[in-house]
Chains A and B, each alone.
Chain A
Amino acid sequence: MADKITLEVARYDPQRHTEPTFEKYEVPFRQDWVILDALNYIKDRLDGSLSYRWSCRMGICGSCGMMVDGEPKLTCATFLSSYAPGPVRVEALRNFPIVRDLVIEMTDFMVKLKKVKPWIVRENEKPISQGEYLQTPEQLENYKQFSMCINCLLCYAACPVYGLDNLFTGPAVIALAQRYNLDSRDVGARERREILSDHEGIWGCTFVGECTEVCPKHVDPAGAIQQYKVDAAIDWFKSFLLPRGAK
């Protein structure tokens, strides 16, 4: 069993480079180390100028998404041993502009998230003194899976539609919109449908399904989008078959 492994890490400093290059680093190989541990070793002991995002080290904050050997992964949840004997290629997340080394620019996601109104929309609010809105465990199940999104953006890196057309809203945002649509306490489904029912919204999705494959929290954004399409189509039929009966 080798005791070292090589990482080929993408480097890019806009003040010095015009495009990313790869640098090789040799790090200790430990069975319980993940890619992030290797990157920390490089930064602490070999090259302090390597820039990347990380925080919780336990797959819940969503900061450490990167491409590992061409696949989008959370580097805190990807063992070095899966890539032995190496070398392992680590690059910035695909389909986003690269700011520096392994750091991408994600304002696009933040803006799109705000556009779909990811909050509870209600006609009238119940006062706090009257207690909680009742929601049975079954009603909670309806949307629970889609609420697990940690905003890690791996699905955007896997989505070829987003790669080819940056205006596509994208898997995570649509899944979060659907999370609120299906929440029994929310009545904003119509507003969100008006925002998302165009070819940059749900109809831009061609059901490649890779977003669901790479999602580390099993949110199943592809499922959310297809279900949203079915709901939107039914709503459209209802709107002219029963103009007064539609929601």
Chain B
Amino acid sequence: MDSSSHDVLLVGGGGAGLRAAIAVAEVNPKLSVAVVSKVYPMRSHTVSAEGGAAGVARPDDSLDEHAYDTISGGDWLCDQDAVEAFVKESREELLQMEHWGCPWSREPDGRIAVRPFGGMKKERTWFAADKTGFHMLHTLFQTSLKYNAITRYDEWFVTKLLVDDGRVQGVVAIELMSGKIQAITSKAVIVCTGGCGKVFPFTTNANIKNGDGMALAYRAGCPLKDMEFVQYHPTGLPFTGILITEAARAEGGYMLNKDGYRYLQDYDLGKPQPGPVLRTMELGPRDRLSQAFVKENEKGRTIEGPYGPVVHLDLRHLGAKLINTKLPFVRELCLKYQNIDPIKELIPVRPVVHYMMGGVHTNMNGATPIKGLYAAGEVACVSINGANRLGSNSLPELLVFGARAGKSAAAFASDQKPAGSAILTQAMDEQRRLEDQFLRKAGGRERVATIREEMQKAVESGAGIYRTAKTLQESANKLQELQGRFLNIALDDHSRTFNTELTSVLELSFMLDVATSIVQCALHRKESRGAHQRTDFPARNDTEYLAHSLVTRKEDGSSQLKYLPVTITRWPPGQRVYGR
């Protein structure tokens, strides 16, 4: 078997992956860095982020306030030492992006402009029109081209982490172009594969967000943390799930039910003002807005559309000029994908899965409990987002923890010996498994799409916005049935060249593992906190549950759940209050 070796290997080439790669190349130019991504890096899902990135910018703002907003927004499940480091480094990282060419929007005098954003008490969200993620990703990607130490493996699909002697020493990957299966060994591996929105049926996430890294780490014995916390974004287009950015509400949009009434005032989110007021009404936190939708639906006050219930987002009163300068992409999306003009019409929206607060368990430096394995970005759970992420915190998260993980992985890698031959034997076993289980297999009756759709339905019905023990147990049972039926899948495509059916069946297997851990963690957390809402346990329970859920895979394939207390430094748990 062919193999190549590097010092630090990134799985995933999005915002976090590229930032980590650059961090390694800068801190130690002698290290050889590999970026292994299943798509070309500029296709990574970072590209679709719209709203902005938060970093303290105004003189009347402070790091402590950003930290407090983040911690209270996360319903006190955030590790406060990590949040303190995050808010400090966030500003530095965003400035570094500016130095690298990111076209942040500006004030007339040339300084960086900031705008209000949901959940933030002061204006501190940096933005590049309404395509912040796009500009950040392309800036990072084009800057990464400067470093010759970085070798890219574009369109190589990682199927397994190679673990030997208690540490991660590389990956097995398929080169999609040729179908070649190969080991890429390295002294440290940083997983930056993003979230797992595709586990759910309605999501803003792209086709490539299948929780690859979470499943890879889980199968290698690394614990997953806080998997039950799934963030719904309150305004996504029905059917396509396309995100209508929070910025539309930050600029002053209203959310209306079928009577044209701004219904959020009924849900303890403040009184309706004509303009946007931070942390009230439409600028309240995402989980509360999504929950309000479900309750409105139960009361029968949502609008019945061709794809299910929706509410309306009203931007008409903002005027054509503002919409065209501050929200051009929102208008473009509505016109191109749903044939609606926000200047004149109401936009139908519903809550869609948007972000995964949970993920691979890491510390503040991106290190997991497994030696040699690091994680950063949405795939990781540090945790700075706690039970609910504030908008515009995830883009700086990529940069801050991408850089941290890169630096710690670089330091670790400089002391390590290269991989031994036991690793290559493991890789050959993996190659045989892929060939026997998928490529060469004949027979089998299930289709990939059928199992995937049933999984999505099961997860949404059991582990959606509101959960009960009964619905969660039903989901768990269904997922177990699907894991069994998965073994009976037949592929139509047996080619070696660019076999996308193979990649989708591997992604499905990752998603089944991730879905199972989401449902399990949700079943065991008997309280409601942030994005995890149990109608059978509606109150927050700090005595027993001010802790992270950790789910680890045991030798026999079953999973074990424990709780890890949250790190509290300066902000004792309080009430999450909005609109007052």
Binding site for B on A (CB under 8 A): 13-16, 32, 43-45, 47-49, 51-63, 77, 99-101, 103, 105-106, 110, 113-114, 118-120, 125-126, 128, 131-137, 139-140, 143-144, 147-151, 176, 180, 183, 185-186
A222–B180 alpha-carbon span in the complex (Å): 39
User: For B336, B492, B501, which residue has the most chain A Cβ atoms within 10 angstroms?
Assistant: B336
B570 within 8 A of A: no
> Which of B101, B240, B447 is close to A180, meaning CB atoms less than 8 Å apart?
B101
Against A, the Cβ 8 Å flags (1 = close, 0 = not) of B485-504 are: 00000011111111111000
CA distance A58 to B240 in the complex (A): 9
Partner of B143, one of A16, A32, A119: A119
- In the complex, what's the smallest C-beta–C-beta distance from A224 to chain B, in angstroms? 16
Please give the distance in Å from B106's CB to the nearest CB on chain A: 5
Expressed in whole angstroms, the minimum distance between the Cβ of B451 and any Cβ of chain A is 11
Interface pair B497/A99, CB less than 8 Å apart: yes
Contact A48 B447, beta carbon cutoff 8 Å: yes
Quote the shortest CB–CB distance from A87 to chain B (angstroms). 22
- The 8 Å CB contact of B492, one of A32, A47, A63, is A47
Alpha-carbon distance between A149 and B333 when the two chains are bound, in angstroms:
17
Checking B129, B138, B333, B447 against A44 with a beta-carbon cut-off of 8 angstroms, the contacting residue is: B447
The chain B residue with its CB closest to the CB of A52 is B500
CA A87 to CA B105, docked complex, whole Å: 45
- Bound complex: CA of A61 vs CA of B154, how far in Å? 15
Interface contact B206-A56, CB-CB below 8 Å = yes
Roughly how many angstroms separate A111 CA and B146 CA in the complex, as a whole number? Answer: 13
On whether A55 and B39 interact (CB within 8 A), knowing A61-B48, A113-B145, A147-B103, the answer reads yes
- B151 smallest CB distance to A (angstroms): 13
A110 near B154 with CB under 8 A, answer yes
With known contacts A61-B42, A100-B498, A119–B134 Cβ distance under 8 A: no
B448 in contact with A15 (CB, 8 Å):
no
Contacting B92 at CB < 8 Å: which of A47, A57, A128, A135? A128
**A55-B39, A55-B43, A57-B206 known; A140 vs B492 contact (CB < 8 Å):** no
Instruction: Tell me the B residues contacting A by CB distance below 8 Å.
Output: 39-40, 42-45, 47-48, 92, 95-96, 98-101, 103-112, 129, 131, 134-135, 138, 142-143, 145-146, 154, 177, 206-208, 239-242, 333, 336-339, 447-449, 491-501
The answer to whether A140 and B99 touch across the interface, beta carbons within 8 angstroms, is no
A134-B109, A143-B103 known, 13 other contacts, Cβ within 8 Å: A16-B495, A47-B492, A48-B447, A52-B500, A56-B48, A57-B240, A58-B48, A60-B134, A105-B177, A119-B145, A120-B99, A128-B92, A137-B106
Choose one: B105, B107, B109, B499; the contact of A51 (CB below 8 Å).
Answer: B499
Q: 5 A-B contacts, Cβ less than 8 Å apart?
A: A45-B447, A51-B501, A137-B105, A147-B138, A176-B142
- Is B495's CB under 8 angstroms from A61's CB? no
Q: Choose among B43, B103, B145 the residue that contacts A118 (Cβ–Cβ < 8 A).
A: B145
Q: Which residues of B contact A99 (CB under 8 A)?
A: 177, 497-498
Contact B100 A120 (CB under 8 A): yes
The 5 A-B residue pairs with the shortest CB-CB distance, nearest first, are A134-B110, A44-B449, A48-B492, A49-B493, A100-B498
**Measured between alpha carbons, how far is A136 from B338 in the docked complex, in Å?**
35
Contact assessment for B48 and A13 in the assembled complex, using a CB-CB cutoff below 8 Å: no
In angstroms, Cα B142 to Cα A118, docked, is 6
Smallest distance from the beta carbon of A11 to chain B beta carbons, Å? 11
The answer to whether A128 and B96 have CB atoms under 8 Å apart is: yes
A110 to B109, CA, bound (A): 37
* Chain A nearest Cβ from B146, distance in angstroms: 5
B15 to chain A, nearest CB (A): 13
In the bound complex, CA of A56 to CA of B242 (Å): 9
| Chain A residues near B45 (CB-CB < 8 A) | 55-56, 61
Q: Is the CB of B109 within 8 A of A136?
A: yes
Do A77 and B336 form a contact, CB below 8 Å, given A125-B99, A133-B99, A137-B108? Answer: yes
- Decide if A147 touches B99 in the complex (CB within 8 Å): no
A101 to B, closest residue via Cβ = B498
In the bound complex, do residue B497 and residue A14 qualify as a contact, i.e. CB atoms below 8 Å apart?
yes
Tell me if B's interface is mostly helix, strand, loop or mixed. loop
User: Which of A32, A62, A105, A183 has the most chain B CB atoms inside 10 A of its CB?
Assistant: A32
Q: How far is the CB of A174 from chain B (nearest CB, A)?
A: 14
Which residues of B are found within 8 Å of A14, using beta-carbon distances?
497
Tell me which residues across on chain B come within 8 A of A133, comparing CB atoms. Answer: 98-99
What is the CA–CA distance of A106 and B491 in the complex, to the nearest angstrom?
Answer: 27
Q: How far is the CA of A126 from the CA of B131 in the complex (A)?
A: 26
Query: In this complex, what residue of A is CB-closest to B144?
Result: A119
> How distant is the Cα of A118 from the Cα of B100 in the complex, in angstroms?
11
- CB neighbours of A53 from chain B (8 A): 39, 43
A140–B101 CB distance below 8 A: no
Distance A119 CA – B150 CA, assembled complex (angstroms): 15
Question: Roughly how many angstroms separate A51 CA and B504 CA in the complex, as a whole number?
Answer: 11
Which among A119, A136, A139, A151 is the interface contact of B146 at CB below 8 angstroms? Answer: A119
Which residues does chain B contribute within 8 Å of A149, judged by CB atoms? 138
Q: Contact: B207 with A57, CB < 8 Å?
A: yes
A186 and B500 within 8 A (CB): no
Residues from chain A with a CB closer than 8 A to the CB of B492 are 47-49
Q: Which of B43, B100, B129, B494 contacts A61 (CB 8 A)?
A: B43
| Chain B residues within an 8 Å CB radius of A57 | 206-207, 240-242
Residues of A within 8 A of B39 (CB): 53, 55, 63
Contact yes or no, B42 A151, CB < 8 A: yes
Partner of B42, one of A44, A45, A62: A62
- Residue contact A15 to B497, C-beta cutoff 8 Å: yes
A60-B47, A134-B109, A135-B110 in contact; A119/B103 too (CB < 8 A)? no
A62 to B48 alpha-carbon distance, docked (Å)? 11
Q: State the Cβ distance, B136 to closest chain A Cβ, in Å.
A: 12
A70 to chain B, nearest CB (A): 21
Are A135 and B106 interface neighbours, CB within 8 A?
yes
Set of chain B residues within 8 Å of A101, measured between Cβ atoms: 498
In the complex, chain B residues whose CB is within 8 Å of the CB of A52: 500
Pick the contact of A48: B47, B336, B337, B491 (CB < 8 A): B491
Q: How far is the CA of A52 from the CA of B104 in the complex (A)?
A: 34
Shortest distance in angstroms between B455's beta carbon and chain A's nearest beta carbon? Answer: 14
Instruction: Please report the C-alpha to C-alpha distance between residue A246 and residue B137 in the assembled complex, in whole angstroms.
Output: 35
Give Cα A47–Cα B95 distance, bound, in whole angstroms.
Answer: 49
CB neighbours (8 Å) of A105 from chain B are 177
Query: In the bound complex, do residue A15 and residue B43 qualify as a contact, i.e. CB atoms below 8 Å apart?
Result: no
B518 shortest CB reach to chain A, Å:
23
Assess whether B242 is in contact with A58, with CB atoms less than 8 Å apart.
yes
Whose C-beta in chain A lies nearest to the C-beta of B96?
A128
